[in-house]
Amino acid sequence: MDKKIVLGLIEPIDIGGEKVLGKIDTGASKSSISIQLASKLRLGPIVKTVRIISSHGKTVRPVIKVSIIIGGKKFKMLFNLTDRKKLKYHILIGQNILKRGFLIDPNKHESRDNQLIK
């Protein structure tokens, strides 16, 4: 069995040459990124659209493929784009990434001293 990497609820993520804090959400089946951050980092292009059902209802969102590094592992994954400017974290990591060898420990805390985009 492969050794699992333990993540906390908030984790640093390398994306588009920047390091940002992302929120780990085991209840989200897919990962998402704020439109504002994707635009700032010039991520894209849009590869498809998906229908998302959340507590706020049903929406159709564009999807981009993005290279990220989380927990020392590098992935090229699909992220749906959404408006997260009013939220504290601009990246939400869902099950599509977490199923690739991660365990979640809510007691784990990463250092917040690095220069991070908020």
CA dihedral over 12, 14, 20, 23, signed as positive or negative: negative
User: The domain containing residue 39 runs over which residues?
Assistant: 5-102
**Residue 1: predicted pLDDT:** 52
pTM: predicted TM-score of the whole model, two decimal places: 0.87
Number of structural domains in the chain: 1
High-pLDDT (> 90) share of the chain, %: 79
CATH code for the domain in which residue 95 is found: 2.40.70.10
Pick the closest to residue 62 from 76, 46, 77 (CA basis).
46
CA distance 109 to 41: 26
**Residue 63 in domain:** yes
Of 10, 7, 81, 93, which is closest to residue 41 (Cα–Cα)? Answer: 81
pLDDT one-digit tens code per residue, 56-97: 789 999 999 999 999 999 999 999 999 998 999 999 999 999
Question: Is 55 part of any domain?
Answer: yes
